[in-house]
Amino acid sequence: MPVASLAKVSVSPAAAGDFTVRAPCIYGKRLVSNRVSFGKLRRRSCIGHCVRSELQTSRVLGSVTDLSLDNSVENGHLPKGDSWAVHKFGGTCVGNSERIKDVADVVVKDDSERKLVVVSAMAKVTDMMYDLIHRAQSRDDSYLSALDAVLEKHRATALDLLDGDELASFLSRLHEDVNNLKAMLRAIYIAGHATESFSDFVVGHGELWSAQMLAAVVRKSGLDCTWMDARDVLVVIPTGSNQVDPDFVESEKRLEKWFSQNSTKIIIATGFIASTPQNIPTTLKRDGSDFSAAIMGALFRSHQLTIWTDVDGVYSADPRKVSEAVILKTLSYQEAWEMSYFGANVLHPRTIIPVMKYDIPIVIRNIFNLSAPGTMICRQIEDEDGYKLDAPVKGFATIDNLALVNVEGTGMAGVPGTASDIFSAVKEVGANVIMISQASSEHSVCFAVPEKEVNAVSEALRSKFSEALQAGRLSQIEVIPNCSILAAVGQKMASTPGVSCTLFSALAKANINVRAISQGCSEYNVTVVIKREDSVKALRAVHSRFFLSRTTLAMGIIGPGLIGATLLDQLRDQAAVLKQEFNIDLRVLGITGSKSMLLSEIGIDLSRWRELVNEKGTEANLDKFTQQVHGNHFIPNTVLVDCTADSAIASHYYDWLRKGIHVITPNKKANSGPLDQYLKLRDLQRKSYTHYFYEATVGAGLPIISTLRGLLETGDKILRIEGIFSGTLSYLFNTFVGDRSFSEVVAEAKDAGFTEPDPRDDLSGTDVARKVIILARESGLKLDLADLPIRSLVPEPLKGCASAEEFMEKLPQYDDDLAKERLEAENSGEVLRYVGVVDAVNQKGTVELRRYKKEHPFAQLAGSDNIIAFTTTRYKDHPLIVRGPGAGAQVTAGGIFSDILRLASYLGAPS
Ligand code: ADP
Ligand code: ASP
Ligand code: MG
């Protein structure tokens, strides 16, 4: 795509000509009208409303002559003004006969009084035409067969669309044109060279043919419709650097003349092509039909310009590169210009200036999706109360294939004219400067130019500054190839602090190095130069930072066993509500078990995660898994959720936290493992801004860790924590009553699935001991598992049983011991409870079978509930008690889920 240079933005005074006088009439008349017809928005009735400048308002009041313009039809003059709607249809809109019919339908159904339609060549035809020239000038006679293909494409389309005289007349014109082209290409072939005007003449034929066919199809519906060869009307002045400037005064004169000979209410005009003042055919350069349409809109003072294309409007980023790009409802003229200048090729950058002058809104719409309202481009948008709507950043765009030129030297500082010398050298080689940045020390000036122009630029600079280089006033003229520009665009960036900071932190998170920065005083854009290879990654990274929910989390779930699977199902059920109501967007990008893993770039469909793991799972690899989930640059925050009980997985937490990955887990291994590793982990956690949550390690979903933290952080002092921390053991002792034996109760619990497959894992007390260690450490005690006396309920001789079955079989032999203990307790009005204790006063912990009075809260427990009592300086006489179900997949997963939400709120989710 040719890129307009910044210097070309303004309309030259001569070209602006008498536009100023006539424009206002539109408003004078339209203030009373509020008609909104198919796909168009009146200048005064856009969403909110478009704010016109004072200058234009005053012109509204002062224009009397203008009103006469609309009445001038009878005099054979062109009736300019709001009665005209201008439409432009891009190449894809007229890509085949069916599509041309659809376009004709849109034209016919538009109820505007008068319509001017600008049309591109059929999709790919302009490329085919350039290819003809290329072949001919390379003396490759295949240009003839290529020309036949062009002929055939249009002949076949016409046969589909037309019949009778219309068909005959089109085909005769087509053959005549092709014969002329053949002669011209032959000349090019012989010369081995095509002049620019030869080339422009050839390539413009696509538009000549598409316009004639469309006009004929519209006529088929019974409407009066004339096609316009825009070369008869549009006059443009070549400016060098592959651009042309419209000559509005001359074009207007020619338009008046054309209209006096073709007075009609529907005109189908060719896009792209025009004439020089000397009547030589030329073009508005690649993608120039948008510009043609804008010039027409201005010439006709139309009430709107609708640009029809193949996407729903202007997206916040190129939808081919950023799948999550969103449609922008509105853009100001400046924003649209900046977006297109910096690479959003949905709109040619030069489209804006002609229509902006008359406040003509542009609406970008999708011919393939008529129900989409499109993007409205107009003056700034305000709501009814005068507030400027809109986000500070509207969109991002990139330009690739650039090179940076860096001119550096101490001799530049304070020397007037250095910049002028640099850029005049650049101008002499006709290169297009896309951005400039100069450090205020004046020590260096750097600028970006298209890669293909950089050699010429650097040679010109070296020759211009050879003396300065020799004398050492300039130290170097350096070329940095393979660069891209990324621009953030938005009118409100100026008044919103912190936008640049957010932009740069998103780039930093994606590990993208910024080579140069530029922000103009208007602050409509912030531009950064990056490596070419980082271009798409950078675009995605910054887009996600501004456009995704602030608390979008990339999640990796490790261990989809019972708890992990329940968590995934809970996420599935709740994700939509979280997104809608709390702006929290949780994306599971990976699920890994010990054997296979499933990864996704945008998020796994949780309604089918089980099938997807089966169908698309690949061999599990934790490093790859982490890299992929964290390496997703769409999403600013990553959390790994470890739902295993594996110490090998826990050993990675330190590394993950160091990389900025948040960790959430019910796995007790890290916090109850070796003390030195635990302390290292917590130390890192405190120093970093990365979070580590583990509420579900104790009491499943019960608020135990958070309660303890709340007490400590508010200055309370923990004296003792005592509790029934095992759901299984809670159940066993709540049921071990009357004349029931302990082994009987264990067997029953095992059968009901309340115990681990081998009940010794519960009865050994290690699990409770780990919880005690976690709480003790949380309270500041430096204890290791080995420091804890544990009362194991596994009789010593049964520790070595080879299987759970053997253990269960032999357990009744030891029933008497516990029965005796129970009886002693009962005799003193007490019950047995298996508890963990953190004795903070004496810096100790224990796991033991204790006796409690029948009135004690621990004796009142039912089922598998947990109960934890915190005795603190504040809660001394009556401990603070947390009680509730402390085991089971649902509540454990619920505990993990609430840690995930806590993380989201730490990261800025609304409360
Ligand atoms: P036409 O032939 O209709 O002029 P173009 O191909 O010139 O269409 O422009 C439309 C294309 O621009 C879209 O298909 C889209 O892929 C691309 N594009 C690039 N950036 C953007 C953006 N920010 N918003 C919308 N489209 C974009
Ligand atoms: N047909 C021309 C091109 O492809 C102009 C346009 O479609 O905008 O460049
Ligand atoms: Mg285009």
Q: What is the CATH number of the domain that holds 278?
A: 3.40.1160.10
Structural domain ending residue among the three candidates 287, 309, 331 = 309
Residue 909, SS3 per DSSP: coil
Residue 491 CB less than 6 A away from ligand 2:
no
With tokens 């530029």, the residue in question is 518
How far apart (Å, rounded) are the C-alpha atoms in residues 218 and 77?
24
Residues 751 and 846 placed together within one structural domain of the fold:
yes
Residues 432 and 469 placed together within one structural domain of the fold:
yes
Residues 827 and 712 placed together within one structural domain of the fold:
yes
- pLDDT, residue 441, reads 60
Question: Which atom belonging to ligand 1 lies closest to the Cα atom of 318?
Answer: 20
Label residue 498 exposed, middle or buried (CB < 10 Å: 0-12, 13-18, 19+).
Answer: exposed
- pLDDT, residue 512, reads 86
Among 154, 214, 272, name the best residue to mutate to test ligand 2's pocket (greatest count of ligand atoms within 8 A of Cβ): 272
Instruction: Write the CATH number for 776.
Output: 3.30.360.10
Q: Nearest residue CA, atom 17 of ligand 1?
A: 346
Is position 436 within any domain? yes
Residue 120 CB less than 6 A away from ligand 2:
yes
Residues 6+ apart with CB under 8 A from 553: 584, 585, 586, 587, 635, 637, 638, 639, 900, 903, 904, 907
| Nearest ligand to residue 307 Cα | 1
Is position 381 within any domain? no
Residue 60 has pLDDT above 60, yes or no: no
| Edge-to-edge order in the sheet of strand 551-558 | 618-619, 596-599, 584-592, 551-558, 637-642, 662-664, 692-693
Is position 718 within any domain? yes
**Count of domains in the chain?**
4
Q: Nearest residue CA, atom 8 of ligand 2?
A: 287
Residues 512 and 582 placed together within one structural domain of the fold:
no
Residues 543 and 572 placed together within one structural domain of the fold:
no
Residues 718 and 671 placed together within one structural domain of the fold:
no
pTM for the structure as a whole: 0.69
CA of 348 from ligand 3 middle (Å) equals: 6
**Element of type H or E holding 604:** none
Question: Which atom belonging to ligand 2 lies closest to the Cα atom of 292?
Answer: 8
Q: Which residues make up the environment of ion ligand 3, defined by Cβ < 5 Å?
A: 287
CA of 275 from ligand 2 middle (Å) equals: 16
Is position 431 within any domain? yes
Residues 544 and 578 placed together within one structural domain of the fold:
no
Sign of dihedral through CA atoms 244, 246, 247, 251? positive
Residue 486 CB less than 6 A away from ligand 1:
no
Residue 538 has pLDDT above 80, yes or no: yes
Instruction: Write the CATH number for 511.
Output: 3.30.2130.10
Residue 92 CB less than 6 A away from ligand 1:
yes
Residues 470 and 603 placed together within one structural domain of the fold:
no
Domain of 728? Answer: 704-887
Residue 15's alpha-carbon distances to 110, 247, 617, in angstroms, are 31, 5, 63
Is 771 a residue of the active site? Answer: yes
Is position 478 within any domain? yes
Residues 6+ apart with CB under 8 A from 122: 91, 94, 95, 96, 153, 154, 157, 206, 209, 210
Question: Which atom belonging to ligand 2 lies closest to the Cα atom of 272?
Answer: 5
Residues in the chain: 911
Is position 161 within any domain? yes
Among 117, 118, 125, 126, name the best residue to mutate to test ligand 2's pocket (greatest count of ligand atoms within 8 A of Cβ): 126
Instruction: Write the CATH number for 584.
Output: 3.40.50.720
Question: Which atom belonging to ligand 2 lies closest to the Cα atom of 91?
Answer: 7
Question: Which atom belonging to ligand 1 lies closest to the Cα atom of 310?
Answer: 14
- pLDDT, residue 887, reads 82
Structural domain ending residue among the three candidates 512, 528, 548 = 548
Is position 67 within any domain? no
- Give the pLDDT band (50/70/90) at residue 10: very low
Residue 742 has pLDDT above 80, yes or no: yes
pLDDT tens digit sequence for 610-646: 999 999 999 999 999 999 999 876 777 899 999 999 9
Structural domain ending residue among the three candidates 503, 531, 548 = 548
Among 346, 350, 365, name the best residue to mutate to test ligand 1's pocket (greatest count of ligand atoms within 8 A of Cβ): 346
Among 305, 345, 347, 536, name the best residue to mutate to test ligand 1's pocket (greatest count of ligand atoms within 8 A of Cβ): 345
Residues 466 and 571 placed together within one structural domain of the fold:
no
887 vs 391: which has the higher pLDDT: 887
Residue 323 CB less than 6 A away from ligand 1:
no
| Nearest ligand to residue 289 Cα | 2
Residues 463 and 559 placed together within one structural domain of the fold:
no
- pLDDT, residue 755, reads 86
Q: 860-873 b/e with 16+ CB inside 10 Å = b?
A: ebeebbbbbbbbbe
Q: Bridge-partner residues for 880, per DSSP?
A: 870
Which one-letter amino acid corresponds to residue 870?
F
How far apart (Å, rounded) are the C-alpha atoms in residues 77 and 75?
5
| Nearest ligand to residue 293 Cα | 2
Residue 319 CB less than 6 A away from ligand 1:
yes
Residues 681 and 539 placed together within one structural domain of the fold:
no
The four Cα atoms 799, 801, 802, 804 give a dihedral, to 10 degrees, of -90
Arithmetic mean of pLDDT over the chain: 87
Cα-Cα end-to-end distance for the chain: 46
Strands, E assignment, 91-205: 114-119
Residues 812 and 664 placed together within one structural domain of the fold:
no
Residue 852 has pLDDT above 50, yes or no: yes
User: Lowest-pLDDT range, 120-124, 371-375, 494-498, 726-730?
Assistant: 494-498
Structure tokens at 89: 């249809």
- pLDDT, residue 911, reads 65
CA of 499 from ligand 3 middle (Å) equals: 30
Is position 21 within any domain? no
CB-based contact 434:402 (threshold 8 Å):
yes
**Helix runs in 596-646, H state only:** 609-616, 622-630
SS3 content of the chain, % helix, strand, coil (to 5): 45, 20, 35
894 vs 444: which has the higher pLDDT: 894
User: Lowest-pLDDT range, 142-151, 408-417, 719-728?
Assistant: 408-417
